[in-house]
Structure 1
Amino acid sequence: MAERQKILASIENDFPQWYQDILEKAQLADNGPVRGTMVMRPYSYAMWEGMQSAMDARIKATGAENVYLPLFIPQSYLEREAEHVEGFSPELAVVTHAGGKELTEPVVVRPTSETLFGEVMAKWIQSHRDLPMLLNQWANVVRWEMRPRVFLRTTEFLWQEGHTAHATREDAANYARRIHLDVYKDFLENVLAIPVLPGFKTASERFAGAINTMTCEAMMGDGKALQMATSHELGQNFANAFGITFSDTDGAAQTAWTTSWGSSTRMMGGLIMSHGDDAGLVLPPRIAPHQVVVIVVKDDERTIEAARTIVADLTAAGVRAKLDDRTQTGFGRRATEWELKGVPVRVEVGPRDLDAEQITFARRDQGGKQQLPLAEVATRLPALLDEIQADMFAAAQKRLDERTKHVSTIEEAREAAQTGFAVIDWAVLGEAGEKELNKDAITVRCLQTRDGNMPDPHNPETDLVAIVARAY
């Protein structure tokens, strides 16, 4: 353990420094040359590609199609929806000069694209037959952060943002809810192995211009909350501002109801902080760039060839396997490197193991070493990866359960939020209590039903509980 602490700060004693050490030592990201920007290194970008692929498939399964809209937005577009521009005003990056000349109208580098989608939807939608219009884009956005932290809050970040238009409020609400549960919650829990609490944001925490915001909140290793994804019912606010209208079945003009929803590279930070330990990253198999790394212990032809065969057999079995035959680098150093990078299973291949017709392997989530017959590697490791995925989710759920406390007073909520989540009746807390907790940097992360579900958007229940916590 002493050796590991030289590599990383203690996760228990200095969580912020541990996080920064992980970014550097696991070769995930660097700071960019402009304050608040980041450089994603190949290993973290491979994780993002995995997230993008899994999310994109789920999004398309709901009927949405991918598009791409411009990076620059005329400033006048944002000003059409007053609440929206007011909500983003401090974070906007505005271009006033280009091509050596002052622009006749300043343009904003997109902080989000509601206004652009509003403009194109008004042009593309004419009839009820054009609805629902379900669009998504993968893009970068810029929000000028005052207190940046790589992956969690950066001036520029990567994300997906969905935008839809519907004939009725009910259809819009149903679709936003479907995205939130069938796409976001399903992905976060079944791919990233992070249990989340789905719920509504309070009025003070809603997205600028929305009539309802849904969120997936997760508990990090230090007990703080992280907002992992959000979905918004925008009502008719943007439709009115941009003239998104359609003719109904009787030929009468109607105003559309719109939604927007997004998730970002913030999920990378959540992945790190949800599962990491004092030895580094711990990656769920379904998102790990390399699910199994096969390490050659000794530089001899027989061992190298056996390791290559194992990698080929695992690959044929659908496992993302990587060969590490860098025998010019010491075995211990290489093993520590892959442990730091969180590879779910490490397989060691050496002459003695081959003589015994076996391999030695280690699970990253549990530690320790075990042996496995060489002939069974390709058949048993895929099942082991599924077991690791399930065990990691169970461990994260256990932490969430153990560090969530049901309380009955505002003072008890304040105390519980120092180490985890507090659950308190919304009728007891209310907007006044929410403001009181805000003074201590404690926020209502979401409102839920008493059984832990998301309220019904068509008939929000009054008997709700508030999830209260400190947050990133």
Structure 2
Amino acid sequence: MENKRKENYSKWYNEIILKSELAEFSGIRGFMIIKPYGYSLWEMIKKELDKIFRQTGHKNIYFPLLIPKSILSKEKEHTDLFSEGCAIVTHSKIKKDQEKIIIDPKSKLKEELIIRPTSESIIWSIYKRWIQSYRDLPVLLNQWGNAIRWEMRTKLFLRTTEFLWQEGHTAHSTKKEAIEETLNILNIYTDFSQNFMAIPVLQGIKPHMDKFHGSKTTYCIEALMQDGKSLQMGTSHFLGQNFSKVFNVQFTNMNGYKEYIWSTSWGISTRLIGGLIMSHSDDRGLILPPKIAPIQIVIIPIYKKKNFSIIDEHANNILNFLEKKNIRTFYDNRTQFTPGWKFHEYEIKGIPIRINIGINEIKNEKLEIIRRDTLETICIPFHFSINLIKKLLCDIQKNIYQKALHRTKKYMIELDNYHDFKNQINDSGGFIFAHWDGTKNTGKKIQEETEATIRFIPFPSKEKEGKCIFSGKKSKQKVVFSKSY
């Protein structure tokens, strides 16, 4: 790795993505190519989350990519949010004119179509057909797809114009049930981030000026990256009856009366991969938690031409044994690359465990194992038990999480003095707990002076009266400030 975290964090981040072959620039601003290794990582995230959603009663569905402008514009707050970031389809045909491709002016659409920035509007236009009675509720849907939102400042995985994501949409007969769903999803995201991605997060509520437009309350999880900045990892929105009233979607309750539906929406995106990189990686490359690593173990043969067949046979035996035990294993038997070159490649790609096998290992009936998280070398019996490997993977997962947790706790700081606040933000960043007077204007002034924003109001709420760190006005509780991505 040419770039170091402490010297140039942004270049270090990009270099890891490019050299580990997660993604690359497409040549179109804001659009990236997710390469096979990066996409397999997204598939691991998708696989594990999808399993959880199915277990909680959610069903996958797919809605159109294009939304008629008249439908999107029905919900004013929702439209305002995306008014400057929508891609619009205006014509349906192209043609050649003197070897140039131009838009066919005769193919102008009667109504312009918006490439979805999110799907609430089109989903609610359909719910009107699907829901008439309390017997039709709840509706628990999830969609895996993509979305487009024009971004002014783009960064691979973190902020791209097009991104892959998961968006859940549910409809309920009562307010209580909808709020419970919102919080249940928040806890699912929290558990997934911590137990699968090894990224500790804090739960919170977005301040009123930053909540999802069209929602009553936006809950979020935020994680602290190695450079002291915060990253929003997922959001879960209690929409109330906003969309059902706009689209006039009512149901007949058990008493025969008409009511508007209560609803939620929630989502995560390929931004999680950016969070994974910035949470765990070092100056050698990626470090991946075993639970979501596409490859958990890589086997490298150390050979000379005359003994390759012997080593190859033993390596394949180890590969077959591990695969039968459901350990995601790759045996790199390519002969055009040296073992040293392969060591470097898989170090950059963050494979949790590397097994080296050569003639010496075969003679001594011991294997050399290298942990990516600590770079520790361990010798294990040639005929090892699978429990030994599973325990090692478990230890790596725990160690990666504990390291990130220690960093997060170290930079969770409570401050009451604005001078100290500015010094902390500029020096080390972190999650700063401080009182805020609840006004948008104060939040804006703090951001202008420090680049820090109110990331969330801690949830569950712990009210403790004090004075706003900036204005000195009364405040009911502390909120969390941080610079962010």
Query: Per the shorter chain, which TM-score range?
Result: over 0.9
**Structure 2: how far apart are the matches of 1:88 and 1:375?**
59
Residue 423 of structure 2 is aligned to residue 421 of structure 1: no
Following superposition, the deviation at residue 30 of structure 1 comes to 1.1
TM-score by length of 2: 0.91
Q: Secondary structure at the match of 2:355?
A: strand
- Give the conservation status (yes or no) of the 8 Å contact 2:217–2:239: yes
Paired residue for 2:247, among 194, 219, 242? 242
- Give the conservation status (yes or no) of the 8 Å contact 1:239–1:245: yes
Matches within 5 A, 1:20-419: 20-99=14-93, 100=104, 101-181=107-187, 183-299=188-304, 300-376=308-384, 378-418=386-426, 419=428
Distance change in 2, residues 1:185/1:336 (3 Å):
same
Distance change in 2, residues 1:193/1:252 (3 Å):
same
**Structure 2: how far apart are the matches of 1:429 and 1:351?**
68
**Structure 2: how far apart are the matches of 1:454 and 1:261?**
21
- Give the conservation status (yes or no) of the 8 Å contact 1:434–1:443: yes
**CA-to-aligned-CA distance 1:121-149 (integer Å, 9 cap, x gap):** 11101001111111110011000111111
**CA-to-aligned-CA distance 1:324-376 (integer Å, 9 cap, x gap):** 11233111111010000000001100101111000101100001312111111
Distance change in 2, residues 1:68/1:40 (3 Å):
same
**Structure 2: how far apart are the matches of 1:427 and 1:90?**
29
**Structure 1: how far apart are the matches of 2:461 and 2:178?**
16
- Give the conservation status (yes or no) of the 8 Å contact 2:41–2:293: yes
- Give the conservation status (yes or no) of the 8 Å contact 2:319–2:331: yes
Aligned match of 1:446: 456
**Structure 2: how far apart are the matches of 1:463 and 1:55?**
36
**Structure 2: how far apart are the matches of 1:443 and 1:411?**
16
**Structure 1: how far apart are the matches of 2:81 and 2:387?**
54
Stretches of structure 2 that go unaligned for 5 or more consecutive residues are 94-103, 464-474
- Give the conservation status (yes or no) of the 8 Å contact 1:144–1:155: yes
**CA-to-aligned-CA distance 1:195-250 (integer Å, 9 cap, x gap):** 00111000011011111001110011111111010011111111111111101111
Following superposition, the deviation at residue 301 of structure 1 comes to 1.2
1:276 partner letter = S
Following superposition, the deviation at residue 377 of structure 1 comes to 5.3
Query: Which ranges of 4 or more aligned residues in structure 1 deviate by more than 6 Å?
Result: none
Following superposition, the deviation at residue 464 of structure 1 comes to 3.5
2:316 partner letter = R
Residue 478 of structure 2 is aligned to residue 465 of structure 1: yes
1:29 partner letter = A
Q: Secondary structure at the match of 2:239?
A: strand
1:399 partner letter = R
Q: Secondary structure at the match of 2:384?
A: helix
Distance change in 2, residues 1:33/1:455 (3 Å):
farther
TM-score by length of 1: 0.94
Following superposition, the deviation at residue 8 of structure 1 comes to 3.2
**Structure 2: how far apart are the matches of 1:269 and 1:334?**
24
Q: Secondary structure at the match of 1:420?
A: coil
Following superposition, the deviation at residue 165 of structure 1 comes to 1.0
**Structure 2: how far apart are the matches of 1:50 and 1:38?**
19
**Structure 2: how far apart are the matches of 1:86 and 1:411?**
36
**Structure 2: how far apart are the matches of 1:253 and 1:429?**
37
**Structure 2: how far apart are the matches of 1:148 and 1:164?**
31
Following superposition, the deviation at residue 430 of structure 1 comes to 5.5
Count of matched residue pairs: 457
What root-mean-square deviation, in Å, do the aligned CA atoms of Structure 1 and Structure 2 show?
1.6
Distance change in 2, residues 1:377/1:392 (3 Å):
same
1:257 partner letter = W
Max radius of gyration: which structure?
2
Distance change in 2, residues 1:427/1:273 (3 Å):
closer
**Structure 2: how far apart are the matches of 1:399 and 1:16?**
19
2:389 partner letter = L
- Give the conservation status (yes or no) of the 8 Å contact 1:448–1:464: no
Q: Secondary structure at the match of 1:184?
A: helix
**Structure 1: how far apart are the matches of 2:483 and 2:234?**
17
**Structure 1: how far apart are the matches of 2:397 and 2:39?**
21
Distance change in 2, residues 1:59/1:8 (3 Å):
farther
1:216 partner letter = I
Bigger CA drift: 296-305 or 257-266? 296-305
Distance change in 2, residues 1:429/1:203 (3 Å):
closer
Q: Secondary structure at the match of 1:204?
A: coil
Stretches of structure 1 that go unaligned for 5 or more consecutive residues are 1-6, 457-461
- Give the conservation status (yes or no) of the 8 Å contact 1:84–1:209: yes
Q: Secondary structure at the match of 2:209?
A: helix
**Structure 2: how far apart are the matches of 1:170 and 1:423?**
32
Q: Secondary structure at the match of 1:284?
A: coil
Percent identical among aligned pairs is 38
- Give the conservation status (yes or no) of the 8 Å contact 1:298–1:327: no
